[in-house]
Chains A and B, each alone.
Chain A
Amino acid sequence: MKSERIEEILKNIGNNDVPADVHKIAENISKDFSKTLAQPKQPRHIVLGDYIMKSRFTKLAAAAAVIIIAALIINFQFSTSGVAWGALVEKIESVESVVYRLTTNVKMQGMPQGQTPKNEAIAYYSSEYGTRAENYINDQLSFIMYLNPKENIYVSVMPEQKKFMRFTDKSPDELKQIAEKDDPRVMVRHMMSTEYKPLGRDKINRIDVEGIECTGPGVMGGMFEDATARLWVEIGTDFPVRIEIEGIVSGGQMEMSMVMDDFQWNVELDPALFVPDIPADYTSQELSLAETNEGTAINGLRLFAELTDGRYPSNLALLTLMKEITEALTKKYGIKIAVKQDEYTSALVDILQAGTFYVQLAAAEKEAVYYGDSVTAENPEAVLLRWKVSDGVYRIIFGDLTTSDVTAEELAELEALQPK
Chain B
Amino acid sequence: MENRQEKLFELLDKSGASLYALLTKLTLREDVAEELMQELFIKLSNHKELRKIGNWNAYAHRVAINLAFDWRRKQKRICLSLNNVPEIASNEKSPLSNLINSEESQEMLDAIRQLNKAPRQAIVMRYIQQQPYEDIAEQMNKTTHQVRALCHKAINRLRDLLGSGRKEIQNV
Chain A residues within CB distance 8 Å of chain B: 1-3, 6-7, 9-19, 22-23, 26-27, 29-31, 33-34, 37, 57, 59-60, 62-64, 66-68, 70-72, 74-75, 78, 85, 195-198, 215-217, 225-226, 367, 369, 371, 373-374, 411-412, 415, 418, 420
Contacts and interface: CB of A to CB of B under 8 A. Distances in A.
A197 B130 CA distance: 27
Nearest to B114: A252
Contacts of B37: 57, 59-60, 63
B17 A62 contact: no
Contacts of A72: 1
B89 A59 contact: no
A12 B92 CA distance: 14
B1 A37 contact: no
Contacts, number: 166
Contact of B38 (A62, A70, A369): A62
A13 B158 contact: no
B159 A6 contact: yes
Nearest to B168: A1
Contacts of B52: 195
B158 A19 contact: no
Interface of B: 1, 4-5, 8-10, 12-14, 16-17, 20-21, 24-25, 30, 34-35, 37-39, 41-42, 44-49, 52-53, 88-91, 101, 104-105, 107-109, 116-118, 123, 127-130, 143, 145-146, 148-149, 152-153, 155-156, 158-159, 162-164, 166, 168
A29 B41 CA distance: 14
Contacts of A60: 34, 37-38, 41
Given A30-B12, A415-B145, 9 more contacts: A3-B163, A9-B108, A10-B108, A13-B128, A14-B127, A16-B89, A26-B21, A59-B34, A60-B38
Contacts of A17: 21, 89-90
B162 A1 contact: yes
Main secondary structure of the interface of A (DSSP, over half): helix
Contacts of B88: 16
Nearest to A32: B13
Contacts of A9: 104-105, 108
B149 A63 contact: no
Contacts of A371: 149
A15 B3 CA distance: 36
26 contacts: A6-B155, A9-B104, A11-B127, A13-B108, A14-B127, A17-B89, A18-B21, A26-B17, A26-B20, A26-B21, A30-B9, A34-B12, A34-B13, A37-B9, A57-B37, A63-B42, A67-B44, A70-B42, A71-B4, A195-B52, A197-B47, A198-B48, A225-B116, A226-B116, A367-B143, A418-B152
B12 A33 contact: yes
A14 B129 contact: yes
Given A10-B128, A215-B117, A67 B20 contact: no
